[in-house]
Structure formats: C-alpha cells, structure tokens
C-alpha cells in the first residue's frame, strides 16, 4: 500500500480529484468540533471492499494513525425520498 501523494488536501479538493471514488484519508486537520477538514489520500478505489482491506492494513501497520473514509460521489441519488 502506498500513498498517491503527500500533498495535504481539503475534503472538497479530494472530492474533485477523486470523483465517484471511495477514499481513505490520513487526517492532518480537524475543525473545532473534531470533524475532518484536511488530509493526505492514502488510497482510493471505486470498489469499497478494496478500501476496507487497505484501511485494515494501514491500521495494523500504524495503530495510532487517524483516518477518515468517505465516498466522493453522489450521496443520495437524485429523486430519492428519505423518510426519517
């Protein structure tokens, strides 16, 4: 497993660079509420299963690393109604 870049990016920049991908980010910055703001992309894939495997490996190699995983694509498809 290797990093694609050591460049620190905001989550919105990551979303632009890795459209419609599952992304594993090593956190570098959080806001005052502890929410992820910036990080370094460690892995990305359209396949979520690959991301899970990579995340496990990263945390086994470095148990103290703080990560964030998310999907950069459309969260709720247009036209979908969500009832809570």
Q: DSSP labels for 1-62?
A: ---S----EEHHHHHHHTTT-EEEEEEEEE-TTS-EEEEEEEEEES-HHHHHHHHHHHHHH-
Q: Kindly state the average pLDDT of the residues 58-81.
A: 88
Tell me the pTM: 0.80
Sketch the domain layout of the chain as residue ranges. Answer: 9-71
Position 5 confidence tier, pLDDT thresholds 50, 70, 90? low
pLDDT at residue 55 greater than cutoff 80: yes
Percent of the chain with pLDDT over 70: 94
pLDDT at residue 4 greater than cutoff 70: no
Q: Kindly state the average pLDDT of the residues 13-37.
A: 94
pLDDT at residue 39 greater than cutoff 90: yes
């Amino acid at each position: 497993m290797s990093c694609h870049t050591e460049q620190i990016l905001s989550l919105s920049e990551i979303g632009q660079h890795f459209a419609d991908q599952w992304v594993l980010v090593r956190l570098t910055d959080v806001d005052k509420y502890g929410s992820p703001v910036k990080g370094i992309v460690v892995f990305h894939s359209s396949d979520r299963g690959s991301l899970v495997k990579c995340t496990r490996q990263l945390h086994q190699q470095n148990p103290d690393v703080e990560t964030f995983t998310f999907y950069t694509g459309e969260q709720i498809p247009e036209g979908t109604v969500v009832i809570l």
